[in-house]
Amino acid sequence: MKKLTIFTLSLMTLLTCACGKSSDSSESQSAPAAEQQVVLQVSADADINKCAYSLDELYDSAAIVMKVRVSSVQAKLAENDAFNVYTEVVPEVLEVYKGEYSGEKIIIGGGKISVSEYAEKFDTDISDLSDNETENGLVEYIWLNNHIPSAGEELVFFGTTNPGYPDCFEPSFLNQGVFVCQGDSVRISSLNADENWCEPLAEDIMSRFGGSLSDGGLVFPASEMETFLQKPVNPTQQ
């Protein structure tokens, strides 16, 4: 599988710029993503102006915190230069811990979209792919290491809104709001660390709940997240 890495410059409003918008070519795919093979992976990083340093800060700053089951997903081509692809998620809400939910979709930077659509819009060199890969393959576009949801998954979602796009939620701080439920554990793929540095939010979670941090993100006990989410909410934070 061919891999590319790109760097983009972001502002806090960039995800909302794509919400509810897409190019005409991205409205449908020739086959469901699950039936197609990823033949090109694009990893994109960005500068983030602000982030949460603790789970409490993440919770307090979120407009909504909820547990959802992913009903369906659709990858779309974005209309801005922050990220090339985003995923529109239709959630089945299992529980709302904070805020109010009124049928909004979830928009997450990154996604899987057809090679032909991606290459046509973003002038990507795909000359080393076969005709079959070009025609039927997928680009997996990973933005800020965000998890790309699949139908049937359960997520704990911390979201924010933008007044200009009232019909959707985006992850808090662009890449800190998507936690994937995996049986007895919860994983967030977008937190980073190396031998010299660990992201403050990851440090906070590990100091409180334990867990492990690797290239695949931070994994910690689901029971600890559930206990945390059941904490009383200050009415001013609703």
Residue range 87-122, pLDDT digits in tens: 999 999 999 999 999 999 999 999 999 999 999 998
pLDDT surpassing 70 at residue 29: no
Of residues 25 and 37, more confidence is placed in 37
Q: Please tell me the least confidently modeled range out of 2-6, 165-169, 173-177, 192-196.
A: 2-6
Closest CA to 89 of 149, 147, 140, 141: 149
**One-letter amino acid for residue 1 of the chain:** M
pLDDT of residue 74: 96
pLDDT surpassing 90 at residue 28: no
pLDDT surpassing 80 at residue 7: no
Q: Which range has highest mean pLDDT (2-11, 68-77, 117-126)?
A: 68-77
For the chain, how far is it from start to end, CA to CA, in angstroms? Answer: 45
pLDDT of residue 5: 57
For 34, which DSSP code? G
| Helix axes 222-229 and 200-209, enclosed angle (nearest 10) | 100
pLDDT surpassing 90 at residue 35: no
Query: By percentage, how much of the chain surpasses pLDDT 70?
Result: 80
Number of helices (H), then strands (E), in the chain:
6, 13
pLDDT surpassing 70 at residue 133: yes
Of residues 35 and 136, more confidence is placed in 136
**One-letter amino acid for residue 193 of the chain:** A
Rounded distance, CA 37 to CA 112, Å?
10
- Give the distance, in angstroms, between the CA of residue 77 and the centroid of all CA atoms in the same chain: 15
pLDDT band at 215 (very low <50, low <70, confident <90, very high): confident
pTM for this entry: 0.84
pLDDT surpassing 60 at residue 197: yes
pLDDT band at 1 (very low <50, low <70, confident <90, very high): confident
Rounded distance, CA 111 to CA 85, Å?
6
Of residues 171 and 82, more confidence is placed in 171
